[in-house]
């Protein structure tokens, strides 16, 4: 008998890749719940849904009544649904807080009434950015880092605040109501089809639009980028591994920390840019350095990224160059 699995936010960037891997591996009865906030059901998702008989529930899960459309006996629930993207934190911080908080609380209240055996909540490295920036916590950074917001009034941190709520909420509801829980904190996951509110697609668009001189904001900051296939594999391993129950994992690539300048110049080379680069200061609220210690994920999950950053970035940039230059509008 197939395992019943629900992916809330399963039509999103990371959700789609998890869905694809689960569907192609077989043995799962799959349902995705999504309101398609970030766009339409594209051809890739539609083909996957049709080929593997995936049930799709198009609903707004900030409304508690949307959960009435779900079954009550999923063995596993991936809680991926949230509004994410730096632009959203500045454009609509109030809505980001409302939406993400309601998604978290509605899901928790629904879980306590059902028979779910395990839930995986997806969090973010931004939860601990303040501990690194303000207190010099070590980098690469392990899971036991204190969660810290450096400036609680800054809209940049609204996303992180909701994820901190989710980490506490899911772990404590799990203890009280008797289901297992695992949390994964993503570190700069990227890849084709990732949307348009993130660094790499925005940078590609600037090159396509002909920005020259090209301004390198936060040029000396460092990040560790994690290709989508690796992130999806790590997430599934965290769900499927019993030793991961009631644990937190950093999912990223601790061996791929690079400067923003190195990333931008590499993207520019792929895009055929031959103009001038100018170094600029960092954006407000942006941290100087971020890189995860993934030793725990390697030890307990067997997690080890396979895609080096140059290969992954090239695949991603080439996808977005083709997208922007073709005039497609399937997501916008």
Q: Is 157 left (phi over 0), alpha (psi -120 to 50) or beta?
A: alpha
Q: Is the pTM of this model over 0.75?
A: yes
- Asked if residues 57 and 33 have their Cβ atoms less than 8 Å apart, the reply is yes
Question: Which position has the higher pLDDT, 256 or 251?
Answer: 251
Question: Which position has the higher pLDDT, 82 or 1?
Answer: 82
pLDDT digits (tens, 9 = 90+) for 100-134: 999 999 999 999 988 899 999 999 999 999 999 88
DSSP state of 228: H
**Please, what is the average pLDDT of the chain?**
94
Token code pair at residue 121: 């909540």
Q: What is residue 40's predicted lDDT score, i.e. its pLDDT? A: 67
Indicate the pLDDT class of residue 332, thresholds 50, 70 and 90. Answer: very low
Token code pair at residue 171: 């772990």
pLDDT exceeds 80 at position 285: no
Indicate the pLDDT class of residue 196, thresholds 50, 70 and 90. Answer: confident
Neighbours of 330 (CB within 10 A): 12
pLDDT exceeds 90 at position 145: yes
pLDDT exceeds 80 at position 136: yes
- Torsion sign over Cα 168, 107, 183, 129: negative
pLDDT exceeds 90 at position 171: yes
Tell me the mean pLDDT in the region 136-146: 96
Distance CA 299, CA 105 (A): 32
Q: Which of 2, 28, 30, 29 is nearest to 16 (CA)?
A: 30
pLDDT exceeds 70 at position 329: no
Domains, the chain, ordered by start: 3-326 (3.40.50.720)
pLDDT exceeds 80 at position 14: yes
Tell me the mean pLDDT in the region 225-244: 98
- E strand or H helix at 267, and its extent? helix 260-271
pLDDT digits (tens, 9 = 90+) for 197-217: 888 999 999 999 999 999 999
Indicate the pLDDT class of residue 84, thresholds 50, 70 and 90. Answer: confident
223 forms bridges with which residues in the sheet?
A: 258
- Torsion sign over Cα 162, 163, 164, 169: positive
pLDDT digits (tens, 9 = 90+) for 37-80: 866 688 899 999 999 999 999 999 999 999 999 998 999 999 99
């Amino acid at each position: 008998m197939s395992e019943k699995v629900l992916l809330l936010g399963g039509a999103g960037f990371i959700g789609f890749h998890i869905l694809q891997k689960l569907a192609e591996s077989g043995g799962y009865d799959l349902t995705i719940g999504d309101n398609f906030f970030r766009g339409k059901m594209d051809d890739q998702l539609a083909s996957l849904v049709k080929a593997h008989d995936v049930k799709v529930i198009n609903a707004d899960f900030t409304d508690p009544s949307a959960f009435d459309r779900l079954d009550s006996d999923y063995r596993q629930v991936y809680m991926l649904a949230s509004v994410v993207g730096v632009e959203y934190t500045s454009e609509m911080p109030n809505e980001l807080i409302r939406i993400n908080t309601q998604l978290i609380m509605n899901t928790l209240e629904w879980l306590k009434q059902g028979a779910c055996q395990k839930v995986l909540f997806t969090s973010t490295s931004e939860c601990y950015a303040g501990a690194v920036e303000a207190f010099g916590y070590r980098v690469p950074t392990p899971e036991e880092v204190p969660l810290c917001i450096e400036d609680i009034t800054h809209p940049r941190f609204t996303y992180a605040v909701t994820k901190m709520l989710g980490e506490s909420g899911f772990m404590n509801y799990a203890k009280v109501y008797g289901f297992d829980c695992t949390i994964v904190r993503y570190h700069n996951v990227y890849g084709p089809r990732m949307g348009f509110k993130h660094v790499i697609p925005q940078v590609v668009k600037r090159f396509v639009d002909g920005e020259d001189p090209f301004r390198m904001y936060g040029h000396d900051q460092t990040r560790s980028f994690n290709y989508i296939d690796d992130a999806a594999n790590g997430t599934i391993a965290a769900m499927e591994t019993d030793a991961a129950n009631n644990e937190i994992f950093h999912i990223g690539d601790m061996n791929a920390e690079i400067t923003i300048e190195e990333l931008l110049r590499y993207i520019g080379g792929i895009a055929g840019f031959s103009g001038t680069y100018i170094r600029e200061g960092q954006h407000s609220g942006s941290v100087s350095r971020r890189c995860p210690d993934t030793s725990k994920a390697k030890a307990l999950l067997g997690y080890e990224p396979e895609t080096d950053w140059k290969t992954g970035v090239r695949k991603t940039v080439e996808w977005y160059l083709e997208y922007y230059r073709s005039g497609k509008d399937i997501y916008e």
